[in-house]
Structure 1
Amino acid sequence: MNGHKTLPPPPSTPPRQLTAEEGVELGLDLGFKPAGGGRGSMTRGDVVVLTIRLLCMATSVTAMSFMVTARQASAASFYGFQFQLHSKWSFSYSFEYLVGVTATATAYSLVQLLIAASRLLLRKPPVIPSRNQAWLAFAGDQILAYGMMSAGSAASGVTNLNRTGIRHTALPNFCKSLDSFCDHVAVSIAFTFLGCVMYGAAAVQNVIWLSKSNH
């Protein structure tokens, strides 16, 4: 118009979006949330892993504690004769085996909990950081699950013998005179089998984590 050429308007430049760091410098909370809940956040899977690990630790410590405190001195009557009885967990190889397995399980669970706690303190979830560690934990959990089952079964046989005596042999029920000892052993065996279930659950949880990590 009027001999002047109209120039097209310059292309509009889209406004640059502020980063989270720039927003903090300006005193603004931009509400940015990193994918996956953000650094330092725990998922439901992490909570499940920690819960199972705590239960594994608790059952192992309880089983070991009740067994190593199983001891009692008493007297029993056999065919009219009084006999002094002294019972202790270390007198039986099966009970010593149970203590060894539960002590190993306690140490293993403590290491796993320390690894998980260190990652949470450093704000580096998940508590299972890599596939290699998941495979190692899976193998360890399976070994301890079978070990706990084996130890509980061996100790159960000796305890049943104390309660029923030997077949075709007139042995008394020693647990009538050694009730405290037998009660400690029974509780230890019960928590040993419960620990077997917990370590089995931990192995299953590792399998779930490995299956999800493939996707």
Structure 2
Amino acid sequence: MELKDGVAEMGRAEYSLLTVMAYDRYIAVCKPLHYGTLMGSRACVRMAAAAWASGLLYAVLHTANTFSIPLCQGNTVEQFFCEIPQLLKLSCSDSYLRELGVLVVSACLMFGCFIFIVLSYVQIFTAVLRIPSEQGRHKAFSMCLPHLAVVSLFLSTLTFAYLKPPSLSSPAVDLVVAVLYSVVPPAVNPLIYSMRNKELKDALRKIIQLVQCQHQ
């Protein structure tokens, strides 16, 4: 249960951070002159704290509910963490309806974040298409597309994990999907977003050159 709590918190926090990143890109593209004011260090700390707090609250609610669910089909979960759909399969009581209620509320909140991300990118792409120079458009797209790719991966795999038909459910498929939405997005986030940093690129280039020299 502790592992499920941690994964649930990271998943919810990850989605909140992706929403904050969409807002960051909206400000950078649509209101660049106000970026320093709206996205200062204090604002970033507050938004990051709110993301982690929402993840913690989400995990606590689910953990409190799943602890009260009686299990009558064993206690073995064919997953590398106690994923909620897997736990509900082991339940033999109507008390799992409370957990489904929490899931519905969570889905509504996530849908609200999804609408926010979509509206942000509609305005972003509208602003990008108005940029006269091709270099300016390329710079804006290079900033937004990696984030959009991570959001798409996270939402598509998460939706498939929770809404897939029973005919497509199997331990192997469930495990792969769970890894895709719980491990891959947080793992690739630092790589994708930091690779736009010139100093990091220079440091990475020096490391590669050093490794090549040692092998020669």
Which is richer in strand?
Answer: 1
Which is richer in helix?
Answer: 2
Structures share fold, TM-score greater than 0.5 = no
Larger Rg: 1
Taking structure 2 as the reference length, the TM-score comes to 0.37
Taking structure 1 as the reference length, the TM-score comes to 0.37
